[in-house]
Amino acid sequence: DPYSSDPKRHPVLKPASVKPFNAEPPPSLLVENFITPKELFYVRNHLPVPNIDAEQYKLEIEIEGAKKTVSLSLDDLKKMPKKTITATIMCAGNRRSEMVKVKTVKGLNWGPAAVANATWTGVPLRDVLKNAGLDQFDDKYKHVQFEAEDVDATGKNYGASIPIWKAIDERGDVLLAYEMNGAPLPRDHGYPVRVIVPGVVGARNVKWLAKIVISEHESTSHWQQNDYKGFSPCTDWEDADFTKSPAIQELPVTSAICKPYDGDTIDVVDGKILIKGYAWSGGGQKIVRVDVSADGGKTWHVANVDAQDSSEPPRHWSWTLWSANIPVDNKSKTVGFADIMVKAVDSCYNTQPENFEHIWNIRGVLGNAYHKIKVNLKQ
């Protein structure tokens, strides 16, 4: 069993699959903390967790066409000036379980908790590339490829790539991280070194990093080429041409109600109900407003921001936690329920699509429509 040396997991994580291990926490617990404790941080593994001895760890760096490659130990990385950022990571398939209600898709049935926020400490990737001899003004190179230590049954490694501007720009804030929330990375989250590409889809935040290649080309890995791409609702598996859709990088703005849950019965206090959730946008955009409704969108209210960091766009990498105490119509005896919905607005004034019907896609990615739940009201 290639999964026999996987780490032990906290029982609060609800598995969507066990081998490989994929799990998210209960959404109501997720929004209790601005910085997600490691026990509550969702896990998204495509393959068995590699067992890496930090003492033996080597990171290889190759600049295509150059004769030499550079090899760095964990100590070499730790000797370089370090930096800490707070960044949210979100899986492209977050909230897939809502999209599935339109029509089935291929992918894990994620709820709204395949997202989390942590502090990450490590070395800026741009410093490592500079030391390795990359001339940042050489426009021959277009991509930075990451190869990981985890392998599939045919011997292929997990891999992904990002455009080179994101790696080179100081404001891109890409890190080779060796700490999460001030402690060494847990094995599930990439021990000893992972890439943090803030503002960019989870899939490019490569864990168990083994090799970096500066290249004219994207990563050729399955996950860069034939997965994690968006399609039209009219495209099915027979006519999907993966060469025609770009690989997902920055994610669109999204939000979710994490407390209460769809179908819950909740108390009405002084004619109001309390709801809580998160909002986040990719590309370093900040959430500037969260709108909530308790009557199916007839009337809207602006939610309170409970937690947000002060960094400005386009370097605002972490999520926003919000809550709202919204009035419900409890005068009429017939109203025993509320249709609650949320949409967020980011600093580009982009907002969310109204429903999943119009953004449905075969892989069930980029599911950022209004989050809608129905609850029963207890007077």
Cis ω before 20 (30° cut-off from 0): yes
Find the part of the chain contacting ligand MTE (CB under 6 A) among 73-81, 200-208, 262-270, 324-332. 200-208
**Nearer Cβ to ligand MTE, position 128 or 273?**
128
The nearer residue to ligand MTE, 186 or 327, going by C-beta atoms, is 186
Binding ligand MTE (rule: CB under 6 A), the pick from 132, 203, 253, 290 is 203
Residues 6+ apart with CB under 8 A from 142: 163, 164, 215, 216, 217
Instruction: Please report, as residue ranges, which positions from 61 to 100 form the binding site for Mo ion (by CB under 5 A).
Output: 91
Residue 45 interacts with, from ligand MTE, Mo ion, none (CB under 5-8 Å by kind): ligand MTE
Partner whose binding site includes residue 46, from ligand MTE, Mo ion, none (CB under 5 to 8 Å by kind)? ligand MTE
44 or 189: whose CB is closer to Mo ion?
44
Pick the stretch among 37-45, 65-73, 325-333, 363-371 that binds ligand MTE (CB under 6 A). Answer: 37-45
**Nearest residue (CB) to Mo ion, 203 versus 214:** 203
* Residues within window 134-193 making contact with ligand MTE, judged by CB under 6 A: 148, 150, 158, 188-189
Identify whether the C-beta of residue 157 lies closer than 8 Å to the C-beta of residue 212: no
- Applying CB under 6 A, among 6, 13, 24, 42 the residue interacting with ligand MTE is 42
Three-state secondary-structure class, residue 63: strand
Cα(250)–Cα(200) distance, integer angstroms: 4
Do 208 and 194 touch, CB atoms closer than 8 A? yes
Q: Does 205 bind ligand MTE (CB under 6 A)?
A: yes
**Chosen residue from 124, 199, 202, 260 binding Mo ion by CB under 5 A:** 202
The region of 41-49, 135-143, 250-258, 290-298 touching ligand MTE under the rule CB under 6 A is 41-49
Q: Is 202 in the site for ligand MTE (CB under 6 A)?
A: yes
From CA 261, how far away is CA 374, in angstroms rounded?
Answer: 8
- Between 126 and 155, how does the x/- string for binding to Mo ion read (CB under 5 A)? ------------------------------
- Return d(Cα 100, Cα 247) in angstroms, integer: 22
Query: What number of chain residues touch ligand MTE (CB under 6 A)?
Result: 20
**Alpha carbon distances (Å) from 228 to 114, 181, 361:** 15, 28, 11
Binding of ligand MTE by 44 (CB under 6 A):
yes
Partner whose binding site includes residue 208, from Mo ion, ligand MTE, none (CB under 5 to 8 Å by kind): ligand MTE
Nearer Cβ to Mo ion, position 72 or 177?
Answer: 177
Q: Nearer to ligand MTE by C-beta: 158 or 356?
A: 158
At 200 the three-state DSSP class reads strand
Rg (CA), the chain: 21
Residue among 36, 44, 55 at smallest CA distance from 188 = 44
Comparison of 202 and 277: residue with beta carbon closer to Mo ion: 202
Q: Which of 322, 286, 297, 318 minimizes the C-alpha distance to 307? A: 322
Residue choice 13, 41, 44, 211 for contact with Mo ion (CB under 5 A): 44
Q: For residue 151, which of 245, 286, 51 has the smallest C-alpha distance?
A: 51
Residue numbers 90-119 binding ligand MTE by CB under 6 A:
91
- Residue 76, burial from CB neighbour count under 10 angstroms (0-12, 13-18, 19+): middle
Q: Cα(274)–Cα(218) distance, rounded to whole angstroms?
A: 46
363 near ligand MTE, rule: CB under 6 A: no
Burial category of 308 from C-beta neighbours within 10 Å (exposed 0-12, middle 13-18, buried 19 and up): middle
- The reply on whether position 229 binds ligand MTE by CB under 6 A is no
Residue type, 79: K
Tokens of 173: 């804030």
Q: Which does 96 bind (CB under 5 to 8 A by kind): ligand MTE, Mo ion, none?
A: none
Query: What is residue 345's three-state secondary structure?
Result: strand
Considering only residues 332 through 361, tell me which ones interact with ligand MTE, judged by CB under 6 A.
none
Q: Token match 């429903």: residue?
A: 355
Binding site for Mo ion (CB under 5 A): 44, 91, 202-203
Binding site for ligand MTE (CB under 6 A): 41-47, 89, 91, 148, 150, 158, 188-189, 202-203, 205-208
